[in-house]
Each structure stands twice: as C-alpha cells, then as structure tokens.
Structure 1
Amino acid sequence: MSEEIERLWGVDDVSAYLGVPVSTLYTWRYLGSGPPGRRVGRYVRYDPSEVRRWFAQLDDGAA
C-alpha cells in the first residue's frame, strides 16, 4: 500500500496558483492575512491543501 505524498509548495507555486505576485504573498504573510505558510530552514513552504482551504474560505464580497 503506497500512498503518494503531495509535495509542499514554495512561494512561486502559491503565486502561480493564486495568480498574485510573490511580493503580495510576503506582504500577506507579514500582515498575517494570507494562506498559512511555515518556515523550513530559510524557506517558506505551504501545504497545498491548506492553501486551497484558505482560498475556499475567502469572501469575495459579491452580493
């Protein structure tokens, strides 16, 4: 029984997925308002399922 493990995303991956600049991700991280990321050494890594969950919970403000 081999379960495939999904790799963590870097800032470039999250930037491409969300369609926002990398600098926006760093600003969101600083402000505490973006998708949850964790430091791995000197790198920030994101769990893809958490990024998708964060995105799904956004309120777009459409009436």
Structure 2
Amino acid sequence: MKRENKQGNDSPGSLDGLWAVDDVAAYLRKPVSWVHDNHRKYFHAARVGRELRFSANEVKKWISGQIRP
C-alpha cells in the first residue's frame, strides 16, 4: 500500500515524521538488516503492531552527530 506524502512532514513516505524500517534504511543507505540489528544502540523505535516506527527527527539528529568537521 502506497502512503501519501503530505506537505510539511518528513520524507521518505512518512506519516507525521514516523519512518518505517525501509525508510530508515533508505535514508541511511544501509540494509534493512542493519537497521534491525543496530536500532537499539543508536535510536529508539516504537512498535506499531508487528512493525517498528522511528522518529525521523531522531534519526536525522543521530546522523548529524556522526558527521565530523
């Protein structure tokens, strides 16, 4: 099922700033398995049914903290 990307929320394909595992993997350019294996170390996830959802802001904040000057 394709999700609508409404103006004003965080891409890719997010619902009010929440990303699925596929979205996080695409943003970080990592395999989905990496997200599953490492999300507890780096950023929190909320379980929605059987799926994980991540705060887009938290993922972006984490990645910006990894950039060295």
Q: What TM-score do the two structures reach when normalised by structure 2?
A: 0.66
For the residues of structure 1 that align with 2:65 and 2:26, how far apart are their CA atoms? 19
Structure showing greater radius of gyration is 1
Q: Which runs of 5+ in 1 are unaligned?
A: none
Give 1:1-63 correspondences, 5 Å limit: 4=8, 6=10, 7=15, 8-29=18-39, 32-58=40-66
How many residues align structurally? Answer: 56
Aligned-residue sequence identity (percent) comes to: 36
How far the C-alpha of 1:37 sits from its partner, in A, is: 1.4
Q: What TM-score do the two structures reach when normalised by structure 1?
A: 0.72
Residue 33 of structure 1 aligns with an amino acid whose one-letter code is: K
Q: Which runs of 5+ in 2 are unaligned?
A: 1-7
Moved over 3 A (4+): none
